[in-house]
Amino acid sequence: MTSPKEIIKHYGIKPRKKLSQSFLMDQNVIKKIAIAAQISKDDIVVEIGAGIGVLTEILAQESRKIIAVELDKNLVEVLKEKLAGYDNVEIHAGDIMKFDFTSISLSYRCKVKVVGNVPYNISSPLIFHLLSSCSAIGGFILMLQKEVVQRLAARPNNKSYGVPSVLLQMFASVEKIFDVPASCFYPQPKVESAVIRGAFLDKPLMELADAAFFTQLVKASFAQRRKMLINNLKNSKLLADVEEEKIKEILTCASIDGKRRGETLSVVEFGKLSNLLYQTMGKL
């Protein structure tokens, strides 16, 4: 395998900041990600932001098929040339945010695996894009900014636990696998990185009466982190029509002490509370 350094030199690639281009140079980290992705010959893989194709090449050797998505037209040409010898690689020139995971999953009749050292400038919308396609996606393994990984994988009572943790973990099991220092990339990002691995659950941790209401309730509960849950709830627009006494009653019904902070509630507790509140509001 040609080294990332040689590829960049050979093609005279000038990394584009606007596209968050930061290429993985450390061969050990590249191999570690590929191993952690646990790809088998049955897997259809979608790689986000394939760049110069270093990860793509390893994954091509292990998977049934890999669809390498890349927005930068210059890099698409590099990928085509570099991976010409693999008949199971498809280069998809385009924006991952417009990528249709569902139609790929339907046409191959299986869930896809998503892998990538992704552009950090689109981390949040990307996670929501994956969430919205979760029935088409089995597992995912992503390199993201370290703080983002911490937030997504945090458990209750941790300072990183917040809206993204709850919203993702209702639908997926996730774990941080390892950190990657900035020195492993070219150009070096200003932030540290980490790799997160996850799998979407066949069904959410608990059945939600209304997913949009759940999202809003979680956001309201964390509106002011240091406030008691009851105060965040009674001040929220979402529950403006519900009397404080009623909110307290529902908290009791859900066995949640309103004096707790939002950050102490488990994902299931948020689900329970959301369902009870939603039902009550329907009756008002």
Give min distance, CB of 96 to ligand SAH, in A: 4
Number of amino acids touching ligand SAH (CB under 6 A): 24
- Tell whether residue 20 is a contact of ligand SAH (CB under 6 A): yes
Residue 255: Cβ-neighbour burial (10 angstroms; 0-12, 13-18, 19+): exposed
What is the pattern of x (binds ligand SAH, CB under 6 A) and - over residues 101-120? ---------------xx-x-
Per 3-state DSSP, the chain is made up of helix, strand and coil in percentages (nearest 5) of: 45, 20, 35
DSSP letter for 118, please: -
Give min distance, CB of 185 to ligand SAH, in A: 8
Positions in 52-71 near ligand SAH (CB under 6 A): 52, 54-55, 69-71
- Report the residue number, 117 or 274, with the smaller CB distance to ligand SAH: 117
**13, 21, 146, 217: which one binds ligand SAH (CB under 6 A):** 21
> Closest Cα to residue 216, out of 265, 273, 169?
273
How are strands ordered across the β-sheet holding 89-93? 89-93, 65-70, 44-48, 112-117, 137-145, 193-200, 172-180
Rg (CA), the chain: 21
- Tell whether residue 184 is a contact of ligand SAH (CB under 6 A): no
Applying CB under 6 A, which part among 89-97, 228-236, 238-246, 266-274 lies near ligand SAH?
89-97
Applying CB under 6 A, which part among 46-54, 167-175, 217-225, 267-275 lies near ligand SAH?
46-54
- Report the residue number, 122 or 251, with the smaller CB distance to ligand SAH: 122
CA distance 192 to 194: 7
Sequence letter at residue 169: Q
**34, 44, 51, 194: which one binds ligand SAH (CB under 6 A):** 51
CA distance 230 to 247: 8
DSSP letter for 272, please: H
- Tell whether residue 191 is a contact of ligand SAH (CB under 6 A): no
Q: Report yes or no: 58 and 82 within 8 Å, Cβ to Cβ.
A: no
Residue 184: both structure tokens together: 């492993």
- Tell whether residue 22 is a contact of ligand SAH (CB under 6 A): yes
The residue sitting closest to ligand SAH, measured at its beta carbon, is 49
Residues interacting with ligand SAH, by CB under 6 A? 19-24, 49-52, 54-55, 69-72, 75, 95-97, 116-117, 119, 122
